[in-house]
Amino acid sequence: DDCIPSLSYGWPQDGALSSFDHAAIRRGFQVYRQVCSSCHSIQYISFRNFVGVTHDEAGAKKLAEEFEVTDAQPNDDGEMFERPAKLFDRYPGPYRNEAEGRAANGGALPPDLSLMTKARHGGIDYVFALLTGYADSPAGKDLLPGLYYNPYFAGGAIAMPPPLMDGQVEYEDGTPATVTQMAKDVSQFLAWCAEPEHDERKKFGVKAVTVLALGIGITAYYKRLRWAPVK
């Protein structure tokens, strides 16, 4: 019944020494912002996370200022107030709470997407398959109103309307915005959201392995040197 993608589609970041494709993350953010963010939050991402990834610092500041957030502290009169977001603010979600999210989606709750590529079996491949997997319901399968047939979703009937249509986004870099392209880009963006430290981690891994190898080499040489007279 439910089909889980059984293969990896192969992503630029898959290799042990490979980094994310940052142009793809940037396009994927455009898709998230213009399409998914009307229903889904990315609650663990702050504007500062974009610095050096999709935006430079000035760009990320400008992006943040396009959003209004409620300050964590009341003003001098004891009232909560809204202000333009700053780098340290979380990316604001579409709803104030779960009830509002459900009310806007016929009772279903669009889940937070920041850890989605970790939360579901299949990870990034599942997200891509889901976004490109909408189809006509097979003969004889009646769906309740508000549900859409998607064989990749557990149960086959999902409350999310097909979110992507060809040409929905106008990419800044001129890439043609087909459904597959947008699904591919937003999946990579969400993989980055779940692991923003990914590239740094791999870079550090290279350093660690290099230093360890040197350490092993030096230790081996020293050991042989010290024990040579004993043998």
Q: Which two tokens stand for residue 34?
A: 């213009």
Query: 68 near 51, Cβ under 8 Å?
Result: no
By the rule CB under 6 A, 161 interacts with ligand HEM: yes
Candidate list 25, 39, 42, 193; residue touching ligand HEM; CB under 6 A = 39
SS3 category, 214: helix
Closest among 7, 2, 1 to 128, alpha carbons compared: 7
d(CA 77, CA 99): 30
| Euclidean distance between CA atoms 91 and 67, whole angstroms | 8
151 touches ligand HEM (CB under 6 A): no
Q: At its nearest, how many Å lie between ligand HEM and the CB of residue 48?
A: 23
Stretch that binds ligand HEM, among 17-25, 37-45, 80-88, 195-203 (CB under 6 A): 37-45
Question: Among 66, 70, 71, 78, which residue's Cα sits nearest to residue 96?
Answer: 70
Name which position in 23, 108, 115, 179 contacts ligand HEM (CB under 6 A): 108
Does 158 contact ligand HEM by CB under 6 A? yes
Nearest to 171, CA basis, from 17, 46, 13, 35: 35
Binding status of residue 129 toward ligand HEM by CB under 6 A: no
Work out whether 116 is an interface residue with ligand HEM (CB under 6 A).
Answer: yes
Q: Which residues in this chain contact ligand HEM in the complex, by CB under 6 A?
A: 31, 35-36, 38-40, 105, 108, 110-111, 113, 116, 120, 127, 130-131, 153, 158-161, 163-164, 186
